[in-house]
Structure 1
Amino acid sequence: MSVRFLIIEGNIRDVRESYRAGTGVSPAEGYGNVLLGIAGGGSYDILNATDADASLPKGKMFKDYDAVVITGSALNLWKQEPESMRQVEVARAVYRANVPFFGSCWGLQVAAVAAGGDVQPNPRGREMGFARRITPLAAGLKHPLLAGRPVSFDAPCSHLDEVSTLPPDATLLASNAVSQVQAAEFRFEGGTFWGVQYHPEYSFAELAFLIDRRMGALMNEGFFANEAEKNSYVADLMAVGANPSLNHIAWRYALGPDLLDADQRVTELRNFIEIRVKPHAFSRAA
């Protein structure tokens, strides 16, 4: 059995190319590679859903995939730009196809709006680097998406906006002090979405790239006092990502096993694949 993923790329072309120049892959390619690593193989197609001429590969429909996953994005849904609203319509089509559906950060927000929710700028500001003390709620403690997560955990993150209003048919699974909606399940027109506001797919190197790329905004918002401070932080992230046993860096930034251990970091993705994607693939192949 070979699992087939569709990755919906949330970024416009210029951002995709900038990302590829800095990391070697686009966000969708990086996400797809992580999913294949967890699944133990398979394949993925990419839909650049911001593009006006975007389409699935010839002859393919959403129902032909074992899972659809939406990446993060630098866009803002509350602006209602065409590049964003195209993705909302794509998400509605995925719901109707009743395919296992997942998204991180922007992906959660797109799925929320598609199902009747709303997204607005977070009044508490940007959550960048690591989302701290994410706490599963009563529903989350019993939900398979968060199976294996403790009563409080940290995760990589990067976002300015948040789901401000849940869709009518939704279950809130986890929150923290910065964003009420950190994990949720949405149901719409026959389909079910699992998603998180954080980024279980991110490596430390990817997070370091994003922080470096957004230096100006982060300095203006008080995350760093100067460029040297930012450079030191980025270098530390790169170092501990390459060697998680660097205890002095882990101690400096309060990085626990939920962040340093790659298997723990991708908990939600592994749960999604094992609980929803692989059974769907088996049933489709039967």
Structure 2
Amino acid sequence: MPAKLLDGQSLANEMKVKAREKVELLKGRGIPVGLGTILVGDDGPSANYVAMKHKDCSEVGVTSFHRHLSKGASLSEILEAVEEFNDSPDVSAFIVQLPLPDPDIEEEVLDKVLPAKDADGLHPVNLGKLVMSKPGILPCTPAGILKLLQRYDIAVEGRRVVIVGRGLTVGRPLALLLSSSLPGCNAAVTVVHSRVKDIGEILCEADVIVSAAGVPGIIRSEFVKIGAVVVGAGTSFDGRRLLSDLEDGVAEVASFVTPRIGGVGPMTRAMLVENTVLAAERKAV
């Protein structure tokens, strides 16, 4: 029997309705709710992603602020944009769109974002809270994946979860989240990556697989045990066509699977809106 789809788009739409209600209440109290984005360079997928984030904001009444810097922008120019958003009372939270043209400066740039305005949940302070299983701002994609699994009553507690990829935005924080003692987590998590041999043998033992590799078709049907849950969180492009980490045949073996479009992506953006609204609420207390 073909796998059931983990419909992230429908859940994201519901989350945006609730976010709009909260935004209206905040604005009624005279509290601004704004999301800032900083884009460095002209990477097509990054620019498109930022545009989609601002579209989401407009749908829920969140004010958008954007700074677009050239690919050759210096570190000081990027940090100047970060400080502008840090200081702005109208910007509740903001992101620096990753990857930057120079990945070597990403850590320094993220470190300058005020933790309370860190919409992506990637500041060392917020990641540190996650390490300690303390409540805080959660990274958008990992939090979105957890919400999506919970929506379909897929428990991870005590189950074997294998994550493919150890990147800063998905793999590493997702491993921290799912293995934490926070509600709905407590999973047995294994992280595999390009330096790990026999990845297929490890995947075959998983109850839940999350691929964040960005390698088309890296998750093959023979790597998935019957009835496992498979989440494709990694993407790549063939021209303008969005490609999934999941081979098409995975849907014939898994019990639940994310669609190529409308799975994790909408959940990531919905979590960004939610984090922005939460930042505004915390400031209003």
Q: Same fold (TM over 0.5)?
A: no
TM-score normalised by the chain length of structure 2? 0.41
- Greater relative contact order (Cα 8 A, min sep 6): structure 1 or 2? 2
TM-score normalised by the chain length of structure 1? 0.40
